[in-house]
Amino acid sequence: MNPTPPPLIEAHGLGKSYRLYPRHLDRLKEMLWLGRRRFSEEFWALRNVSLEVYRGDAWGIVGQNGAGKSTLLKLLCGVTLASEGQVRSAGRVSALLELGIGFHPEYTGRENLALSGALMGLGQDELAERLPAILEFADIGDFVDRPLKTYSSGMSVRLAFALATCVEPDVLVSDEILSVGDEAFQKKCIRWMEDFLSNGGTLLYCAHNAYQIKKLCGKAVWLDHGQVRLQGAASHVVQEYAEFIEAQGETNTDGTAARPVAALAAGENRITDVRLLNGHAQETSQFVFGQPFRARLRVEAGTGETKPPVVGVGLVRPDLVPVYGVASDMDGAVPRHVEGRVYQIDYVLPQLRLLPGRYVLRAHALDSAGLRVFDLVEREFSVRGERRELGLCYLPHSWET
């Protein structure tokens, strides 16, 4: 029996505190008093966090702004020293943290690649060998020989991510860095991360996009005011976090960031038609428990899309309590091309197991990578039937004695 390999990153009782000074002079006063008198308050950005990351793990980190997500990643990467607890790491860790961290604004992109590559352990010959692949991935053209201070935020991200991918890391750490990149580059990075994970890579991924967390990660940790509120399977943690945020009116019931339909921009994917059909292919809003249910969805691809969009379906109560949600890419289903930029797909339930009551079907139009939600259309329907069970849906079961 082979022993379990040690974790690549191991943290126990990790904490980080800072001194907060009400006024600038208070820092000087405290120095003059040689610490015998305090003019500051202690603030714990993170406390009592323990985590073990094994090879092949994909950890998502969720939490509201100020919850301690970035602080945790900096501690795990060794960028910041812990105030308490211990962290050990093995293997090569490639970190994508705050925008521009590790880059010098006065140096050119090429010079920054040489400097950052050296800090990552790449020799000159090794960097020269990998430079063409880095530049191809970054795709910033002649800007590579211009000072970084002339770059847009998206170009800086391109350079940083390209370098991180080409050093063949054991662990990739990403702290919401893709939120400033353009959509095409985001898809490119997500595809790379999926390949990286399928080849045994290890990922620590922080993002506000809960759908990305569920798509990429198998495990997740939810930080709240610097402490672990929940840790475990990503699907469970994200669902609990989404319900918590939803109670505060900040997200949709499927866990994605709230996006008013009115904000839909021209050229983005959109739902053009939603029809609810019974077992006789008749359009209706009244269904019978146990009978077939079909939602026929048509979606128009945006002008920038070259592949069929992903379609998501959520079933909720009228008070928006979620019952079930799924996206076409989760099952490998691809919408059928109808005409022009229009695609169609049917969401089919051979037997409707929702208990009698009123429900809402929510149809979402996502991009072809299944990462960004563009549009939302709702259809109300009711379920009739003589059922005595309690709850939202029937679960096939038996009794044994």
350 and 234, same structural domain? no
* Residue 236, domain CATH: 3.40.50.300
Q: pLDDT-derived band of residue 312, with 50, 70 and 90 as boundaries?
A: very high
**Residue 222: CA atoms inside 13 Å, Cβ hemisphere, count?**
19
User: Which residue would you say has higher pLDDT here, 259 or 219?
Assistant: 219
* Residue 325, domain CATH: 2.70.50.60
Q: Is 252 within a domain?
A: no
Query: Of 4-8, 47-51, 247-251, which has the strongest mean pLDDT?
Result: 47-51
Of the three residues 247, 271, 291, the one that is the final residue of a domain is: 247
What pLDDT, on a 0 to 100 scale, did the predictor assign at position 328? 93
What pLDDT, on a 0 to 100 scale, did the predictor assign at position 53? 94
Q: Looking at the predicted structure, is the pLDDT value of residue 163 above 80?
A: yes
Q: Is 390 within a domain?
A: no
108 and 197, same structural domain? yes
What pLDDT, on a 0 to 100 scale, did the predictor assign at position 48? 93
Of the three residues 225, 247, 269, the one that is the final residue of a domain is: 247
Q: pLDDT-derived band of residue 219, with 50, 70 and 90 as boundaries?
A: very high
Distance in angstroms (rounded) separating the CA atoms of residues 356 and 378:
19
Alpha helices, DSSP H only, in 314-359? none
Q: Is 391 within a domain?
A: no
64 and 178, same structural domain? yes
281 and 154, same structural domain? no
**How large is the average pLDDT for residues 166-174?**
86
What pLDDT, on a 0 to 100 scale, did the predictor assign at position 88? 92
Q: 168, 223, 210, 222: which is closest to 192 by C-alpha?
A: 168
Inter-axis angle of helices 183-198 and 153-166, nearest 10:
20
**How large is the average pLDDT for residues 200-226?**
88
**Beta strands 227-233 and 219-224, pairing class:** antiparallel
Of the three residues 177, 212, 247, the one that is the final residue of a domain is: 247
User: How many Cβ atoms are within 10 Å of 51's Cβ, its own excluded?
Assistant: 21
- Lowest model confidence (mean pLDDT) among 230-234, 248-252, 264-268: 248-252
Residue 194 burial (CB < 10 Å; 0-12/13-18/19+)?
middle
Q: pLDDT-derived band of residue 258, with 50, 70 and 90 as boundaries?
A: very low
Rg (CA), the chain: 25
Q: Which amino acid is at 281?
A: A
Cα 111 to its chain centre, rounded Å, is 31
Domain interval for residue 311 = 261-384
Q: Looking at the predicted structure, is the pLDDT value of residue 231 above 90?
A: yes
Q: Looking at the predicted structure, is the pLDDT value of residue 347 above 90?
A: yes
221 and 357, same structural domain? no
Q: Is 397 within a domain?
A: no
What pLDDT, on a 0 to 100 scale, did the predictor assign at position 314? 93
* Number of structural domains the chain divides into: 2
273 and 216, same structural domain? no
**C-beta separation of 30 from 70 below 8 A:** no
Helices (H) and strands (E) in the chain, counts: 8, 18
For the chain, what percent of residues have pLDDT higher than 90?
Answer: 40
Distance in angstroms (rounded) separating the CA atoms of residues 12 and 27:
31
Q: Is 201 within a domain?
A: yes
User: Which residue would you say has higher pLDDT here, 390 or 74?
Assistant: 74
Query: At residue 59, what are phi and psi to the nearest 5 degrees?
Result: -100, 130
Q: Is 255 within a domain?
A: no
User: Which residue would you say has higher pLDDT here, 154 or 222?
Assistant: 222
